[in-house]
Amino acid sequence: MVDDNLASLSNAMTDTAIDQLLAEMKFDSNGLVPAIAQQHDTGEVLMMAWMNADAIRESLASGRACYWSRSRGVLWKKGETSGQIQSLRELRLDCDGDTILLLVDQTGVACHTGRHNCFYRALRDGAFVEIADVETDSAALYGDQT
């Protein structure tokens, strides 16, 4: 059902419709909004990243999650280097309009460390401990880019 929702939304959305959608979002002073990526079928929270209006437009147009890389200052199409793509299934906006939830179908690992998700450290007995193993060598995914 969520696949059908995205297909019908992105196919039918004109630039004007997307502009209206973007007008409902509260971007910060840098033109960014936080975006949470969640696995659509399991509910697992995979990662948090930032999106600007262009990243949202690209995500809707391509059906693949696209973010804004604050460190590089460019659009970042998830998986374009690593092959670990996120197929967008649904885009949601929170009640305040200042956070996006992307329901995605994650191919491979979501975290640049090679773990399935970015939330692999848990507070235990007053310290953070790693609770998930590396599944894929990050050097194999990104070379020297990490």
Asked whether residue 24 is assigned to any structural domain, the reply reads: yes
In the prediction, which pLDDT does 10 show?
56
Asked whether residue 121 is assigned to any structural domain, the reply reads: no
Number of domain units in the chain: 1
Asked whether residue 20 is assigned to any structural domain, the reply reads: yes
Asked whether residue 50 is assigned to any structural domain, the reply reads: yes
Which CATH number fits the domain that encloses residue 34?
3.10.20.810
Contact (Cβ atoms closer than 8 angstroms) between residue 52 and residue 68: yes
Asked whether residue 33 is assigned to any structural domain, the reply reads: yes
Asked whether residue 117 is assigned to any structural domain, the reply reads: no
Asked whether residue 100 is assigned to any structural domain, the reply reads: yes
Query: Domain of 60?
Result: 2-108
In the prediction, which pLDDT does 146 show?
47
Q: How far apart are alpha carbons 53 and 22 in whole angstroms?
A: 7
Q: How far apart are alpha carbons 60 and 73 in whole angstroms?
A: 20
Is 15 a residue whose pLDDT tops 80?
yes
Planar angle of CA 87, 71, 90, nearest 5 degrees: 20
Asked whether residue 135 is assigned to any structural domain, the reply reads: no
In the prediction, which pLDDT does 141 show?
75
Instruction: Say what the pTM is.
Output: 0.86
pLDDT tens, residue by residue, 104-121? 999 999 999 999 999 999
Contact (Cβ atoms closer than 8 angstroms) between residue 43 and residue 117: no
pLDDT tens, residue by residue, 25-68? 999 999 999 999 999 999 999 999 999 999 999 999 999 999 99
